[in-house]
A and B are shown apart, each in its own frame.
Chain A
């Protein structure tokens, strides 16, 4: 005797299939909705700012007159910031990841450290601003310099780099390490010659994403006291500087409407920078993955 009534199965089929296609269309609609919001945002920015985006804009220093104002100082400042954040955060971050994944014993202390680092990734960025103010600006007496800003932002993105590097190192198959040890390599040789080269795509991707975050964050730099208006370029790491997000923030606060359009133009510049950086990350990752 059959326990399954085939007639009622056939009857139910229609409602199951229609639920299936309903959910498919619902998810599609939600995705379209998100893309729509993104599209509206981009349209607003581009329509407002594209007109003001020209070579003069990119090459001028900020000024009180909107016709003369440009984003040059902020652009150069952002590049100086990256020049500090990139090496500091990568060296500290990758080093920490190597220690945690390759050397640290699997005990409660190590797990405690790992959990705390992951949690730091979620700490509001303004807290890092307060940290930077107390330690770098005041205690180390660096003032509102490139170095102070760079070190603060490095701390901000460090957890992201550590976690991404840990994942990349962990993804290297253990059999490669075994093969290396089997030939008589030391732990350090194995890490430098086998593990790190294999982990580079993941580390670089994490690094560039972290750098993208660093150049977009505004709140910590405001707390540090970085100038919103600076009409000259930094010459050393101890000079003061401003960055794109701060310049944009400055312009949006002005009463003149032209400045708001300039802010939109500045946002476009920032977006283009971020797109270029992310594309480089994708390219590097693809190039390294082909080797596998």
Chain B
């Protein structure tokens, strides 16, 4: 299943398409190399987890997938990341367009200091949708999709900061859904939440994977085992192992993977 050129698409229609194909990706923060020759194929409509100890490069990697890493000064990359066949690292690729198809949920919930309605409507509005009726529909659909509609439908005009941490994170997911993306990137989305909210978000992820491709970075190995189909183990900026989740957690091929999973380090 190899692409023959940077713009050709995957040819076998019976199989799931590759949504992200990373080829020989290197990344430097100044002189420090944070990612070394990353090669990874991520499939659509699945949950792919990225695990690894602190500082292994997993957050860095997920931020290259929507080019948020560019916000860090002094970042250099080489290699290719093909999103549905197009190289997103190419200078001519419009990053704003990429981010309408690839949404991101951050570790600490970061709703805007606006009303709940305005938070969700932000995405569609900046992309030019003005019609209030359409915006109302998008807001309701997204809040339902994030399993938070019933909790907030009577207070859409209240400030988002009045919500609890778990609710704010689901609001951020709703905000993501409002632009109808293709892929949702999640950078440790439940590490700042209590166990009940964590469970709610995990259930949400299982629902969302039917429609979206989800890539989730997590510190919590049990979470990766619970919700993902494939898992990639990162260590020191390299992909040590990448395979089906139940295989990695039962019979890992690499000894370093086994050591991490059994808790010998990390």
Identify the closest chain A residue to B159 (Cβ): A291
Task: State whether the Cβ of A122 lies closer than 8 Å to any Cβ in chain B.
Answer: no
* Interface size classification for chain A: 20 to 34
Contact flag A185-B106 (CB < 8 Å), given A176-B112, A178-B71, A198-B113: no
Identify the closest chain A residue to B105 (Cβ): A182
Task: State whether the Cβ of A43 lies closer than 8 Å to any Cβ in chain B.
Answer: no
Task: State whether the Cβ of A181 lies closer than 8 Å to any Cβ in chain B.
Answer: yes
Task: State whether the Cβ of B247 lies closer than 8 Å to any Cβ in chain A.
Answer: no
Check A189 against B112 for contact (C-beta < 8 Å). no
> Which residues from B are CB-within-8-Å of A176?
110, 112-113
Task: State whether the Cβ of B1 lies closer than 8 Å to any Cβ in chain A.
Answer: no
Check A175 against B110 for contact (C-beta < 8 Å). yes
- Shortest distance between the CB of B45 and any CB in chain A (Å): 22
Contact flag A178-B112 (CB < 8 Å), given A184-B96, A184-B179, A292-B161: no
For B179, give its contact among A180, A183, A197, A198 (CB under 8 Å): A183
> Which residues from A are CB-within-8-Å of B73?
106
- Residue pairs across A and B with CB atoms within 8 Å: the count is 63
Check B126 against A183 for contact (C-beta < 8 Å). yes
B83-127 interface mask toward A, CB cutoff 8 Å, 1 = contact, 0 = none?
000000000000011111001101010111100000000110011
Q: How far is the CA of A292 from the CA of B162 in the complex (A)?
A: 9
Check B110 against A184 for contact (C-beta < 8 Å). no
Count of chain B residues with a beta carbon within 8 Å of a chain A beta carbon: 27
Task: State whether the Cβ of B205 lies closer than 8 Å to any Cβ in chain A.
Answer: no
> Which residues from B are CB-within-8-Å of A179?
106, 110-112, 172, 175
> Which residues from B are CB-within-8-Å of A18?
none
- Shortest distance between the CB of B120 and any CB in chain A (Å): 10
Task: State whether the Cβ of A5 lies closer than 8 Å to any Cβ in chain B.
Answer: no
> Which residues from A are CB-within-8-Å of B175?
179, 183
A-side residues, CB < 8 A to B, are 106, 173, 175-176, 178-186, 189, 193-194, 197-198, 291-292
B-side residues, CB < 8 A to A, are 66, 68, 71, 73, 96-100, 103-104, 106, 108, 110-113, 122-123, 126-127, 159, 161, 172, 175-176, 179
Can you list 16 A-B contacts with CB-CB less than 8 angstroms, sorted by A residue number?
A175-B106, A175-B108, A176-B113, A178-B71, A178-B110, A179-B106, A179-B175, A180-B122, A181-B99, A182-B99, A183-B103, A183-B179, A185-B96, A185-B122, A291-B159, A292-B161
**List of 5 A-B pairs having minimum Cβ-Cβ separation, nearest first:** A184-B99, A175-B110, A182-B104, A184-B100, A183-B123
